[in-house]
Chain A
Amino acid sequence: MSDHQSVSGPDDGGTSGQAPGPMPVSGHESVSGGAGAAESAAAMVADSFEGQSGLLELASGFSRDVSAESTLSEQVQISPALSSLPPAESLAFEEPETVCGNDDRVRISPCTSIPWRWICELLVTYPDGAGARGTGWFLGPRTVGTAGHVVFSRANGGWARQIEVIPGMDGASRPFGSQVGNSFRSTNGWVNNTDPEYDYGAIVLPTADLGNTVGFFGFAALSDASYQNLFVNTSGYPGDKPFGTQWFNAGTVTQATQRRLSYMIDTFGGQSGSAVWRLLNNQRHVVGIHGYGGCPNKAVRVTGEVFNNLLAWRNV
């Protein structure tokens, strides 16, 4: 069994090593996310991104001067009342461990537009009863991508018991509602070897209602050369900020190894599973799945094998 072999959570009969069928696409073929119910039918459009750099999302309050890596972004309106909220309110966690240099994260509010509504707060319950929070992103009508260690934590008893998925959560607001998933996917390399190079997974929801409402990201496997000076974006639900609030940051990939990406983009606990995406020609393709802090922070790179698994999980 290869480390990328897809494995499923207990809701699928406890199968381990359940393999996806052969994928009719090459590893570098890319797909585009839908923009909601009306556009979902046009999803899975393949693009080519070889050798190009991406753009940065533009969120109000995010300074390209502060983030030395950033260049261009996409305009997001944030109300003055929300943008003036104080930073890290928790006395217990006053010193974010993976904010690299200046903390230039900006809050996203409201989270009802693209791409923010594709991003989900995850409320996890593990078999030992422990609760945890992570971040996910819609990759298909009923599939939410995230880190492997969100859906499967060996220390907490293995596969999550359940995960509540809340797209576009904005403080107390749940603009699209939520669904509870208890069917999960990850890889042999993560579940059996806790290998960080294979630390990615997915939540399969009971219905396609949410994904067809909010839409979903595309994803792409890029060549090594494509990562040079590649600008990427990430947004998630960090634990040092008010509960349920989404925070954005962006920057440049500083290193791309065979299976991982490194960057100095500010993140914090709670953002495991966040999409690391490229914006190019108004298309958003996830190229990494965030999971690790430490400056540089790290993501699993979407390689051809990862791409094939994500595509199989999208099509469940």
Chain B
Amino acid sequence: MDGGTSEIDGAIIAIRETWPLQLVVEAPGGRHDVALSEDTALTRAGTPVGSGALEVGAVVRVVGRLSAPHAMVASRVDILS
């Protein structure tokens, strides 16, 4: 992968409990592995939130670096619902 910035919208279907967390996001284009980092910005409607706001079923927009097909390291996760 070229490591370019990518953006996906989808629903969190699983939360893997490493620290930082890993998410599985179901998007229209398929299922994505999303690794968070210490620097990942978590927001809801532009307001910073803690990782507790990440729940299975939440719809999110993930912006980050595509690291493999359907896999990315998130620089930002915005909770849409």
The answer for the CA separation of A99 and B20 in the assembled complex, in Å, is 16
The answer for the CA separation of A290 and B68 in the assembled complex, in Å, is 25
Q: Report A265-277 CB contacts with B as 1/0, cut-off 8 Å.
A: 0011111100000
The answer to whether B14 has its CB under 8 Å from any CB of chain A is yes
Interface size class of B (residues with CB under 8 A): 20 to 34
Interface size class of A (residues with CB under 8 A): 35 or more
Q: Report B5-21 CB contacts with A as 1/0, cut-off 8 Å.
A: 00000000011111111
Instruction: Determine how close the nearest CB of chain B comes to the CB of A95; give it in whole angstroms.
Output: 3
The answer to whether A194 has its CB under 8 Å from any CB of chain B is yes
- Contact yes or no, B50 A270, CB < 8 A: no
Contacting residues of chain A (87-134) with chain B, CB-CB under 8 angstroms: 92-98, 124, 128, 130-134
- Contact yes or no, A130 B37, CB < 8 A: yes
Known: A93-B51, A97-B54, A97-B55. Contact between A268 and B68, CB under 8 A? no
The answer to whether B53 has its CB under 8 Å from any CB of chain A is yes
The answer for the CA separation of A147 and B24 in the assembled complex, in Å, is 15
**Closest partner residue, chain B, to A267 (CB atom):** B17
The answer to whether B22 has its CB under 8 Å from any CB of chain A is yes
Nearest 8 CB-CB pairings of A with B: A95-B52, A239-B19, A270-B19, A155-B35, A294-B56, A269-B19, A155-B71, A272-B17
- Chain B residues within CB distance 8 Å of chain A: 14-22, 24, 33-35, 37-38, 50-56, 67-68, 71-73
- Chain A residues within CB distance 8 Å of chain B: 92-98, 124, 128, 130-134, 147, 149-150, 153-157, 194, 196, 199, 238-239, 267-272, 290-294, 297
- 25 A-B pairs with CB atoms under 8 Å apart are A92-B50, A97-B21, A97-B52, A97-B54, A124-B18, A128-B73, A131-B38, A132-B18, A133-B18, A134-B18, A134-B19, A147-B16, A147-B18, A150-B18, A153-B35, A154-B67, A154-B68, A155-B68, A267-B17, A269-B17, A269-B51, A292-B17, A293-B15, A294-B56, A297-B17
